[in-house]
Amino acid sequence: MIEAVGASSGEIYGAVLALSRSIAGRTDLDALLTGVAESLGRVVSFDHLGLILHDPTENVMRGHILNAPGNPAIASLRMPVDEDPAGWVWQNQEPLIILRLDSETRWPQFVVRARREFGINTLILVPLTAGESRLGAFGFSSVTPLDPSPAEIAFLERVASEFAVAVEAFLAKQTVVRERDRLRTVFDISNALVSKLVPDELFSAISDQLSRVIRHDYALLTLCNEKTGNQDPYALHSTCSQLFEEFKVPFDPEDTPAGEVLATGKPVVAYDSDMDRYPSPVFRRFVTLGCKSICSVPLISRERALGTLALVRTTDDPWPAADVQFLAQVACQIAIAVENSLTYGELAEMKERLATEKLYLEDEIRLDHNIGNMVGEGPAFQSVLKSVQIVAPTDSTVLILGETGTGKELVARAIHELSSRKKGSFIKVNCAAIPSSLLESELFGHEKGSFTGAFAQKIGRFELAHQGTLFLDEIGEMPLELQPKLLRAIQDQEFERVGGNRTIRTDVRFVAATNRDLKAMVDEARFRADLYYRLHVFPLHVPPLRERRDDIPLLTRYFVQKYAHRLGRNIDTIPTSALEALTRYDWPGNIRELQNLIERSVILTGGSTLHVAMPELMEKSSPASLHSRVSRTSHHAERERIIKALEEAKGQVGGPTGAAARLGLKRTTLQSRMRKYGIARQYR
């Protein structure tokens, strides 16, 4: 393997002295090996020079092979101790001479690789030992058969003893530098953990710090989704320019390195050759993207696994055990920071949610909605009420149909109040009142910077309605381009904010309302058929007021009491003729028109008797004025009306269904008139 080239003893020892000088000040193993080659090239002929060190963290032999001077390419080898002849030298601390490598049978894998990659025929290795430190082996190789003499072996051992001192010093310095860098990295990561709470900023800072001590191309942090069982990407950072979009979507951890990490609670290193071990399509796709290896460690906080931290390489460089152990230690810190970040995010969202709900509820109070105050007793009203009672507990989607002003929102609120979600929020979105360009943001929310003017993150109405009811009023006015996203939200109970890539899951009950003919709109391609059928689970028709004439006196009395109380008026009488006129009117604006009329009438009424402020209604009911008609009404006719109302109320005078309410009178007023007309006391 080695061949002395006519060198004298002085030249040989001069070479040893030159060796000591040439390796002084070298800062890495390759430089050390090059210095040895330069010194020995004058007295020794060789084809390859080898430095093979034992790596105690993985119990393998790591070889650094240098071609002869003039061709200084350096190659690296990594083999288990038992499969490498250098491992035998390290273990036994004896020289090893292999004259013909093709006849060697003890280390077949090494022989095949050495002959294929280097063409080696003869190999001589000697122990590389400094004092009591057994570092590895050192030797020469040749492509032609050689038979070294004992003197040449002794010379090689002398060179190895000198070289071992330099290698030991280098390794010691490397260890100190590595520990210093890692301590600095831990310190910098700790600073990042306490100074950053936004996930993307936090993780990019962590990945940058890790890249200084552990080389990687991608860093991926995933969190366990308890509802789906998937791993949701929490943050992704790339040290190179390219980002794989595939890393940004949730995945099933079964038969993947992440799944093994979560199952065992221990780090896992996987290479592209491990597809049989991890048959998941996720891992196969990972390999086809050009990724060669991955090191995944668990994120454990408070004795539970939050997810995984993975470093990905596009090269097949090995993962030293020391790096894996260091990454696992850092992951413990990161797990605490991630948990804090999640808590911070939840608190921030909760704070924004509460603030938004407060404003929303204040608006609702100002609008003076009467939740659950549905007034009526006629057959049409009872039919609606029965349908509400049937569907409310089911959590099914309800589509409320009816003309404008019929009280569709009150029906929706009644469905919410009678359901198991009544402790949750009732959130209303009027699809016709919000510009189409803003409706998506209003429904689903948006991320900071997602569009011009998005200066902060906003929570949408879908999130506000979590575990409650979302009422989509005027659903027929929703733009076509937004309907597919709404359909997905209704079907899958999940969506993404505008400008976001994180899927948000909600638990929402949907109630929609419209005064449009949605079926006709579907036929005209102005409304999506799939969304129509998804909403049309339980259609509920609210009749117009003209089909509920029996309820008009009750509604009139209710609105009179409401607005009289608000305005501080004392109105205790509604003329019978006024009630008759109100009952005969067709009410194209339905209950909303009646409500507005009564409010205006209460404002204009100066005494205790309601003056209906709608001359055209009075003119339609009679050519004479309302007051003259009241004066011409005979006592007999009024007496008959009171008796009829009492019979319909089954003798009940007071209460919401009593005769007084039917006649639009107070209970005391009706009792006074009963005494006046001598109506039997059993009706009282």
Domain assignment present for 182: no
pLDDT of residue 162: 75
User: Distance between CA 233 and CA 500 in Å, rounded?
Assistant: 13
Compute the distance between CA of residue 75 and CA of residue 65 in angstroms, rounded to an integer: 5
For the purposes of burial, counting CB atoms within 10 Å of the CB of 150, is it exposed (0-12), middle (13-18) or buried (19 or more)? exposed
Kindly state whether residues 386 and 480 are assigned to the same domain: yes
pLDDT digits (tens, 9 = 90+) for 476-524: 999 999 999 999 989 988 888 888 878 888 899 999 999 999 998 999 9
- Three-state SS for 425-447 is CEEEEECCCCCHHHHHHHHHEEC
- Bridge partners of 587, per DSSP, are none
> In 3D, which of 55, 64, 62 has the Cα closest to residue 175?
55
CB neighbourhood size of 179 (10 A): 13
Same domain, 610 and 523: no
Mean pLDDT of 193-205: 63
Q: Is the pLDDT of residue 11 over 90?
A: no
572, 621: one domain: yes
Average pLDDT over residues 237-254: 76
Which residue from 94, 99, 165, 85 is spatially nearest to 133, judged by alpha carbons?
165
Q: What's 519's domain CATH number?
A: 3.40.50.300
Reported as type and span, the H/E element at residue 93 is none
Stretch 411-419: mean pLDDT, rounded? 92
Amino acid at 624: A
DSSP strands (E only) in 502-571: 503-505, 508-514, 538-541
One domain, residues 155 and 24: yes
483-496 pLDDT, tens digit each: 999 999 899 888 88
Kindly report the CATH number assigned to the domain that includes residue 35: 3.30.450.40
Is residue 185 in a domain?
A: no
Determine the structural domain holding residue 338 and report its residue range.
196-343
SS3 at position 98: strand
β-pair type (458-459, 445-446): antiparallel
For residues 190-210, b (16+ Cβ closer than 10 Å) or e, as one string? eebbeebbebeebbbbbbbbb
> Do residues 455 and 583 share a domain?
no
Please check whether residue 81 lies inside any domain of the structure: yes
Q: What φ, ψ does residue 13 adopt, rounded to 5°?
A: -70, -30
Pair (171, 146) in one structural domain: yes
Other C-beta atoms closer than 10 Å to the C-beta of 378 total 16
pLDDT value at position 6?
44
Same domain, yes or no, for 478 and 599? no
Work out the mean pLDDT of the chain and round it to a whole number.
80
Q: Are 447 and 457 in contact (CB under 8 A)?
A: yes
The mean pLDDT value for 180-199 works out to 64
Cα 39 to chain center, whole Å?
A: 62
In this prediction, residue 192 carries a pLDDT of 59
Report which of residues 665 and 25 the model is more confident about.
Answer: 665
Give how far Cα 335 sits from Cα of 193, 234, 301, 305, 324, Å. 10, 12, 6, 9, 16
Neighbour count for residue 300 (Cβ, 10 Å): 16
Give the pLDDT score at 638: 75
CB of 17 within 8 A of CB of 161? no
Spatial neighbors of 83 by CB under 8 A, at least 6 apart, are 107, 109, 110
d(CA 197, CA 193): 7
State pLDDT tens for residues 365-412.
444 444 346 788 888 888 899 999 999 999 999 999 999 989 899 999
Q: Which residue has the higher pLDDT, 245 or 418?
A: 418
Mean pLDDT in residue range 203-216? 74
Rounded to whole angstroms, the Cα distance separating 84 from 276 reads 26
Question: Hey, what amino acid is at 144?
Answer: T
Residue 69 has pLDDT above 60, yes or no: no
**pLDDT value of position 625:** 41
pLDDT exceeds cutoff 60 at 146: yes
What is the model's pLDDT at position 356? 64
Residue 630 pLDDT grade (very low, low, confident, very high; cuts 50, 70, 90): very low
Give 535-589 pLDDT, tens digit per residue.
Answer: 999 999 999 998 888 889 889 988 998 899 888 888 888 888 888 888 888 888 8
Same domain (yes/no): 22, 96: yes
Residues 6+ away with beta carbon under 8 Å from 65: 48, 49, 50, 74, 75, 76, 77, 118
Task: Count Cβ neighbours within 10 Å for each residue of 603-634 and write b for 16 or more, e otherwise.
Answer: eebeeeebbbbbeebbeebeeeebeebeeeee
| Domain boundary pick from 543, 567, 585 | 543
Q: For residues 628 and 111, which has the higher predicted lDDT (pLDDT)? A: 111
Burial 91-127 (b: 16+ CB within 10 A, else e): eeeebbebeebeebeebeebbeebeeebebbbbbbbb
One domain for residues 265 and 325: yes
60 shares a domain with 10: yes
In a domain, 116, yes or no: yes
Domain end: 147, 176, 205, which one?
176
Burial of residue 382, with CB atoms counted within 10 A of its CB: 0-12 exposed, 13-18 middle, 19 or more buried: exposed
| 44 band by pLDDT with thresholds 50, 70 and 90 | low
Last residue of a domain, one of 487, 515, 543: 543
Answer yes or no: do 677 and 571 share one domain.
Answer: yes
Q: What are phi and psi for residue 304, nearest 5 degrees?
A: -135, 145
More confident residue, 22 or 217: 217
- Answer whether residue 472 is part of any domain: yes
Residue 671, domain member (yes or no): yes
| Section 305-313 average pLDDT | 88
The answer for residues whose C-beta is within 8 angstroms of residue 663's C-beta and 6 or more apart is: 553, 574, 576, 579, 641, 642, 645, 670
On whether residue 349 sits in a domain, the answer given is no
Q: What is the pLDDT of residue 374?
A: 76
Q: What is the number of domains present in the chain?
A: 4
* DSSP per-residue codes, 190-242: HHHHHH--SHHHHHHHHHHHHTTTS--SEEEEEEE-TTT-PEEEEEEEESSS-
Give the three-class secondary structure for 141. strand
Give 269-304 pLDDT, tens digit per residue.
998 888 889 988 888 888 888 888 999 999 887 777
Residue 4 has pLDDT above 50, yes or no: no
Two structure tokens written together for 255: 């038969």
Most confident of 141-155, 254-268, 621-635: 254-268
Question: In the prediction, which pLDDT does 42 show?
Answer: 62
In this prediction, residue 64 has a pLDDT band, given cuts at 50, 70 and 90, of confident
Rg (CA), the chain: 44
Instruction: Please tell me whether residues 617 and 663 are part of one structural domain.
Output: yes
Q: What is the pLDDT averaged over residues 139-156?
A: 80
Q: Which two tokens stand for residue 551?
A: 């309820």
Q: State whether residue 159 is helix, strand or coil.
A: helix
Closest CA to 125 of 38, 44, 16, 52: 52
Question: For residue 282, is it within any domain?
Answer: yes
pLDDT of residue 2: 42
List, as own/partner pairs, every contact residues 164-169 make where C-beta atoms lie below 8 angstroms and the sequence separation is at least 24, other chains included. Answer: 164/128, 164/129, 164/130, 164/133, 164/135, 164/138, 165/130, 166/23, 166/24, 166/26, 166/32, 167/29, 167/32, 167/51, 167/53, 167/128, 167/130, 167/135, 168/130, 168/133, 168/135
State the pLDDT at residue 577.
83
CB 159 within 8 A of CB 46: no
- The pLDDT score that the predictor gives to residue 14 is 61
Residue-by-residue DSSP string for 277-294: T---HHHHHHHHTT--EE
Provide mean pLDDT across the span 242-266.
84
